[in-house]
Amino acid sequence: MNEFTSLRQQAGLTVTDAANRLGYTERQIYRFEKGTAQPRKGVIELLRTLKPHNDESKEEQPPFTFIDLFAGIGGLRRGFEAIGGKCIFTSEWDRYSQKTYRANFPDDDHEISGDITKIEAKDIPAHDVLLAGFPCQPFSIAGVSKKNALNRPHGFACDTQGTLFFDVARIIAHHRPRVFLLENVRNLVNHDSGRTFQIIRDALEKELGYHISCRIIDAKSWVPQHRERIFIAGFRDRSDFTLDTLKVSASAEGPKLATILHREDGTEKPDGHFIDGKTRKVSSKYTLSAHLWQYLQDYAAKHKEKGNGFGFGLFGPSEVARTLSARYYKDGSEILIKQKGKAPRRLTPRECARLMGFDKPDGSAFKIVVSDTQAYKQFGNAVVVPVVTAVAEHMKPFILESADAPGVMKIRASA
């Protein structure tokens, strides 16, 4: 008998109980029992603290459970944890994002699952809310332009990413969660003259029978960044919910870049390689080389002559930045920070964390455990946390009002 089995039995849990309590499938529990798979250290620690199963009813239960699909570094999750939800399943295929996710959610009692296309819906635990920021490259303006240039298909014609929406749909069809929230780029609405978005609406409303509300929300009311994303909220049961009534402040009232930039007066706190240890200012590595800065200026001038809008974005502390993209690691051209007497600089990954709402200027730091290149990609692909939190708060009364009883909602696949 291995340690997992021994601790399970001491806690008075059956295999089914353990699967439900730990967020695994029964198949995974049997693998732990046989020793063909190993649970995370946190799972063993949790089992050691569990009381016998007959005392479980006395323990506090979360108001709802949710799963985190195409999880990235956990932006959607952070918004729904903020309103009391418990994440019981995570899927993210990128190993670098998995590393960041684990570092920032170290107490999870479930593993991070990989490629969602290879995971059967029945192996995902029942849940109340489904969250999914499914890949947006096939629908984004930049993604479409790139695929057109390479003569490659995009949208639902793309075999690798465009059809990943249907993995979301098959999981919804199997588990029938009470609520879902999907997020994507604004261009999803206009892609292929609106046909792509109509396919999504038809799948959610006509095929799956959900009542949905959609809204494009600009993050500039919460963070100093012009970043528009579409949110699609769905409810299994009809309700009065609508995203249209979510209050969004006027853009002029939003924060400016000064709220997320490192201090340059020598008082910045040490923060890895982002800050020079002697000067307490941003490391010189983030300042553009003279060659790159000249190239970007020449490139912008050339396209300006042709009447194109391509070029770098140069910003000061009192301004609001363009959209941070996953390509930021290449040259940082979309968001360059002005510097007196020298070339501009890129944002540091720490500033990107703040710009996306993962981090706060007061030092409450999101853990960045990957290279700058990977960090830029991760934040560029992420959702803005304060926006998600605002959406989650707006949805909360409707998520909770239809609960069958206090505690976790009772969801059945056959519902």
Residues acting as catalytic residues: 136
221-238 per-residue burial string, b: 16 or more CB within 10 A, e: under 16: bbbbbbbebbbbbbbbee
Contact 320, 226 (CB under 8 A): yes
Cβ neighbours of residue 201 closer than 8 Å, sequence gap 6 or more = 212
CA-CA distance, 353 to 358, in Å (whole number)? 5
CA-CA distance, 109 to 231, in Å (whole number)? 28
CA-CA distance, 80 to 85, in Å (whole number)? 6
Contact 353, 68 (CB under 8 A): no
